[in-house]
Amino acid sequence: MHIQHEESDIRGRHFITDEQGNMLAEITYAVRHPDTMVVDHTEVSENLRHQNIGHELVEAVAEHARAKGRHIVPVCSFTRSVMEENRSYRDVIREQNI
């Protein structure tokens, strides 16, 4: 499965679709400042759960943040949990009042 990416000036997402273009999984974020992304939602379709797809989406958004020189404020509970449990995300996670 290939993770795709879309971003406008204020919103973005990493996502996976099936061959017909149906959404299977996505992680969404808002660009609040030039250096801050607020990850607000992660969803994986029922038939893909327990296959680490959610973790792959978190990794994709973290790699994107690093490439853009941004930090992530994880307000999505799944993303927050994954990032807090894995030391490899310490460089991109930011606590902030939104």
User: Is residue 71 included in any domain, yes or no?
Assistant: yes
pTM flag (> 0.85): yes
Would you write out the chain's pLDDT as a tens digit for each of its 98 residues?
A: 799 999 998 999 999 999 999 999 999 999 998 899 999 999 999 999 999 999 999 999 999 999 999 999 999 999 999 999 999 999 999 876 54
User: Is residue 95 included in any domain, yes or no?
Assistant: no
Residues spanned by the domain of 58: 4-89
Report pLDDT for 95: 76
CATH of the domain at 77: 3.40.630.30
Report pLDDT for 97: 55
User: Is residue 77 included in any domain, yes or no?
Assistant: yes
Q: How many domains does the chain have?
A: 1
Half-sphere exposure of 82 (CA within 13 A, CB side): 23
User: Is residue 59 included in any domain, yes or no?
Assistant: yes
User: Is residue 94 included in any domain, yes or no?
Assistant: no
